[in-house]
Amino acid sequence: MSAAARARKAWEQTMSPSSRIHVPVLAGELVELVAPQAGETVIDCTFGGGGHARLVADRIGPRGTLIAIDRDPVAGRRFEQFADEVSCRTRFIPMEFSTALKTLQDEGVRADGLYMDLGMSSLQVDAPERGFSYSHDAPLDMRMDPRQELTAAEILNEWPESRIVQILRGLGEERFAGGIAREVVRRRPLETTSDFVDAIKAGMPTAARFGSGHPARRSFQALRIAVNGELDSIDAALPLAWDTLEIHGRMAVISFHSLEDRRVKRFFASLAVGCTCPPDLPVCVCGHEPEAELLTRRSIVADERELEANPRSRSARLRGALKLAERTAS
């Protein structure tokens, strides 16, 4: 049995049935990349249901410290139970992860391992009242952090049509963004997720409604990313996360769509650049050393078994890097 399969099995055995709600994606593979050792400090930037964190906690043991971050108070409540169940030292920071990482940096905290499992958790999607799901009728909310002011309703009902087109096209790669945005504006005010689903269906050609997947999937994804400022958060957090790592620390990120994965890939690639001298120079004069070693040349994706057991893993991509030196670029 591979190390990844062993780690996944360990997770399945340690989770009590009542807590098996969010099934962590690429769990064994992520733990293998972060490679937590006894006594280390590891930061989980996206605690969610704590599935990955539980595996890491088992590895770092009673002398280790797990720092968990999540901007969703539901994850915070989940963390209280988690902290009682694991043997390592724990700390929870209820903030957006770039702000939390800045706080840790200001405190001088350094980690041996750090990971992010981006996007939303099943705890969020499966809470109908939060408006993340096109399968339940609910108010147009979609905030991961309910303290935030901006909601999905505000974007759909108050933002100009051109900005809604940009969101649907840019963040959801929705081909019929123009038609959908027009319908949204025509039907204002939209009050519930069903109102938005109806506008989406009306805004696309009939044949397109019966293509692969739910017709609202892309638009809901786009709106959620916009409401939560997800891409800006990632851009701000990646360098902070890297700077929080010790030399020889390991970082891993699981992303769920190409806009996230592209950012992670480029960030790690920029750190892994070595000598930048022209190829015809006989010896290196730039002296530039790579600041990272890529642990994944290509992203890791779920195997057949996981795809079958957990459909959420279908779009997951995992990348990792080992820190060799502090970052010089700003």
Ligand X SMILES: C[S@@+](CC[C@H](N)C(=O)[O-])C[C@H]1O[C@@H](n2cnc3c(N)ncnc32)[C@H](O)[C@@H]1O
Per CB under 6 A, residues contacting ligand X are 22, 24, 46, 48-52, 69-72, 75, 96-97, 117, 119-121, 144, 233
Contacts 24+ apart (CB under 8 A), 197-204: 197/134, 203/176, 203/179, 204/175, 204/176, 204/179, 204/180
Phi, psi of 210 (to 5 degrees): -110, 20
Closest separation in Å from C-beta 113 to ligand X? 14
Distance CA 316, CA 117 (A): 9
Closest separation in Å from C-beta 120 to ligand X? 6
Instruction: Specify the residue, 97 or 134, whose C-beta has the smaller distance to ligand X.
Output: 97
Degrees, nearest 5: CA angle 95-100-103: 135
Closest CA to 186 of 173, 202, 168: 202
Residue found by looking up tokens 């019929």 in the block: 176
Instruction: Specify the residue, 132 or 268, whose C-beta has the smaller distance to ligand X.
Output: 132
Closest separation in Å from C-beta 204 to ligand X? 28
Closest separation in Å from C-beta 285 to ligand X? 41
Instruction: Specify the residue, 41 or 313, whose C-beta has the smaller distance to ligand X.
Output: 313
Q: Which parts of 177-294 fold into alpha helices (H)?
A: 177-186, 193-202, 217-227, 230-244, 258-271
Instruction: Specify the residue, 52 or 218, whose C-beta has the smaller distance to ligand X.
Output: 52
Q: For residue 139, how many other CB atoms are within 10 A of its CB? A: 15
* CB-CB contact of 165 with 222 (8 Å): no
Instruction: Specify the residue, 253 or 322, whose C-beta has the smaller distance to ligand X.
Output: 253
Instruction: Specify the residue, 199 or 255, whose C-beta has the smaller distance to ligand X.
Output: 255
Closest separation in Å from C-beta 119 to ligand X? 5
Instruction: Specify the residue, 51 or 113, whose C-beta has the smaller distance to ligand X.
Output: 51
Ramachandran bin of 25, using left for φ above 0, alpha for ψ from -120 to 50, beta for the remaining angles: beta
* Beta-strand relationship, 65-69 and 41-44: parallel
211: buried, middle or exposed (CB in 10 Å: 19+, 13-18, 0-12)? exposed
Closest separation in Å from C-beta 277 to ligand X? 38
Q: For ligand X, which residue has the nearest CB?
A: 48
Q: For residue 238, how many other CB atoms are within 10 A of its CB? A: 22
Q: Look up residue 62 and give its two tokens.
A: 């009673």
Give me the amino acid identity at 109: V
Instruction: Specify the residue, 77 or 248, whose C-beta has the smaller distance to ligand X.
Output: 77
Closest separation in Å from C-beta 7 to ligand X? 13
Residue 299's SS3 state is coil
Residue found by looking up tokens 């952090």 in the block: 145
